[in-house]
């Protein structure tokens, strides 16, 4: 069976023998029966558990937007948001957009234009959040888990805060979107370390598709008791990046409704675990760097047999033949020189709090279960530093996997990677 796997802005195709194929896991997308613009306007005019923006926005207004690794259609969402804000009598010079980068690094001018569109860039002030800019951070309190609610001071002290977002499966927060533009989006680095700690991520409910009882999610929600997030507009997309649903209104209730909608689409049952799982990071933009690629690997680990093989396709254009940038170099340092996933976990426990531990820890857990073979633009030596096996093509990776698991190995294919939650 010929299967297409997203890779960067293109795809890689391979023919998997029918005798080996257990299933191709994909979402149950609903039919799109109205335009994106209509969905957005309808959601803004009929918010969930909230008044309309035009009736409550006042004073200084900040819009928080997701960073460049997210496929959030900000150029579609922000202009109608601006129109709603202006209907409340707020002028453009009292509106500011802040990119909720968390620890993902800043977008340059070109990146900001890609993120928002030229029109928006010309209309209002745009800035990046810096999690280490101490003069622009404020401690609002402490959660019951001990996480300091330290966030962007300008956001905390503004009159009205809105956020765009994309609701998709998240490998330890359950789902993205909603509260995440405040925390970790505009939080302090040390606060994020607390929420992403070894203990929090070690909890069995800190995984894809779980909100209730997930300590990471519930800690983020608790931060909202201290911080201001007056209104959100979040979307759910299909693989063509078309908008299937728009959820606007109260930061918690609208997000929960969006997550329930997504549940019905992305939670897909498979009849048994596979010897080999072929998975992607969903293509561009999520597969733009090696750091994010752990998400697709985590998806594959949900349905691979103990001792099996995960084949991961992630272009990593930001890391072309190098790890790329210094934003996630600690992820590399935590893994480099180790001989086993147990050693990675030991380093995390002994060195925390340390940057990128929340990526190294899940990776080690995956490696305890299965071998990972990767197809990417990252140097082979760096791939090996992460205890993974590089391959130059999908065909080569398949040959390697069959050699290990046998010619009759069962295969599950997950072309859309972390945008799907396969369950047994």
Question: Tokens at residue 203, please?
Answer: 């909890």
Q: Return the bridge partners of 423, or none.
A: 269
Can you tell me which residue has the tokens 């579609």?
76
Around Cβ 270, how many Cβ atoms within 10 Å? 18
DSSP-derived secondary structure for 254-306 = HHHHHHHHHHHHHEEE-SS-EEEEEEE--STTGGGSTTTTHHHHHHHHTSEEE
* Angle of helix 74-87 versus helix 36-45 axis, rounded to 10: 40
Per the annotation, the verdict on 104 as an active-site residue is yes
Do residues 130 and 148 make contact, with C-beta atoms less than 8 angstroms apart? no
Q: What is the spatial distance between Cα 112 and Cα 67, in angstroms, rounded to a whole number?
A: 9
Question: Tokens at residue 275, please?
Answer: 């010897």
Q: What is the spatial distance between Cα 247 and Cα 390, in angstroms, rounded to a whole number?
A: 40
> Could you say which DSSP state residue 228 is in?
-
Per residue in 344-375, is it b (16+ CB within 10 Å) or e — as a string?
Answer: bbebbeeebebbbbbbbbbbbbbbebbbbbbb
Helix runs in 287-391, H state only? 294-301, 329-335, 341-351, 357-369, 380-385
Q: What is the spatial distance between Cα 260 and Cα 314, in angstroms, rounded to a whole number?
A: 28
Pairing of β 2-7 and β 10-15:
antiparallel
Q: What is the spatial distance between Cα 233 and Cα 131, in angstroms, rounded to a whole number?
A: 23
What kind and span of H or E run contains 220? helix 215-223
CA geometry: angle 420, 422, 424, nearest 5 deg: 170
Q: Which of 104, 196, 217, 255 is catalytic?
A: 104
Do residues 93 and 192 make contact, with C-beta atoms less than 8 angstroms apart? no
Do residues 198 and 348 make contact, with C-beta atoms less than 8 angstroms apart? yes
CB-count burial class (<10 Å; 0-12, 13-18, 19+) for 118: exposed
Q: Which of 106, 129, 170, 196 is catalytic?
A: 170
Q: What is the spatial distance between Cα 242 and Cα 36, in angstroms, rounded to a whole number?
A: 8
323 closest CA partner among 388, 382, 387 = 382
Would you please indicate which residues are annotated as catalytic (active-site) residues? 104, 170
């Amino acid at each position: 069976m010929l299967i297409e796997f997203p890779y960067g802005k293109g795809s890689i195709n391979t023919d998997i023998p029918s005798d080996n194929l257990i299933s191709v896991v994909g979402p149950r997308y609903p039919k799109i029966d109205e335009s994106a613009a209509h969905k957005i306007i309808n959601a803004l005019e009929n918010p969930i558990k909230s008044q309309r923006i035009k009736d409550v926005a006042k004073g200084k207004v900040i819009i928080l937007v997701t960073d460049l690794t997210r496929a959030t259609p900000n150029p579609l969402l922000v202009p109608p948001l601006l129109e709603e804000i202006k209907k409340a009598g707020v002028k453009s010079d009292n509106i500011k957009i802040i990119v909720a980068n968390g620890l993902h690094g800043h977008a340059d001018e070109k990146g900001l234009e890609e993120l928002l569109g030229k029109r928006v860039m010309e209309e209002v002030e745009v800035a990046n959040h810096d999690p280490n800019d101490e003069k622009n951070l404020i401690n609002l309190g402490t959660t019951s888990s001990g996480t300091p609610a330290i966030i962007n001071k300008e956001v905390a002290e503004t009159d009205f805060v809105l956020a765009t977002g994309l609701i998709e499966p998240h490998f330890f927060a359950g789902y993205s979107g909603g509260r995440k533009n405040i925390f970790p989006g505009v939080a302090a680095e040390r606060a994020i370390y607390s929420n992403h700690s070894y203990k929090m991520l070690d909890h069995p409910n800190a995984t894809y598709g779980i909100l209730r009882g997930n300590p990471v999610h519930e800690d983020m929600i608790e931060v909202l008791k201290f911080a201001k997030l007056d209104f959100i507009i979040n979307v759910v997309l299909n693989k063509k990046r078309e908008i299937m649903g728009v959820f606007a209104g109260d930061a918690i209730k609208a997000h929960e409704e969006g997550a329930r909608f997504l549940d019905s689409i992305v939670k897909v049952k498979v009849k048994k675990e596979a010897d080999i799982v072929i998975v992607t990071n969903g293509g561009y933009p999520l597969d733009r760097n090696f750091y994010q690629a752990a998400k697709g690997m985590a998806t594959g680990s949900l349905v691979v047999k103990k001792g099996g093989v995960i084949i991961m396709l992630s272009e990593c254009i930001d890391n072309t033949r190098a790890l790329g940038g210094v934003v996630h170099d600690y992820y590399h340092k935590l893994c480099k020189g180790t001989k086993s996933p147990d050693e990675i976990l030991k380093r995390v426990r002994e060195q925390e709090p340390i940057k990128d531990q929340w990526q190294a820890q899940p990776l080690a857990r995956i490696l305890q279960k299965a071998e990972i073979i990767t197809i990417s633009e990252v140097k082979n030596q760096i791939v090996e530093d992460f205890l993974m096996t590089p391959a130059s093509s999908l065909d080569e990776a398949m040959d390697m996997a069959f050699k290990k698991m046998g010619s009759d190995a069962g295969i599950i294919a997950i072309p859309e990677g972390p945008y799907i939650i396969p369950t047994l």
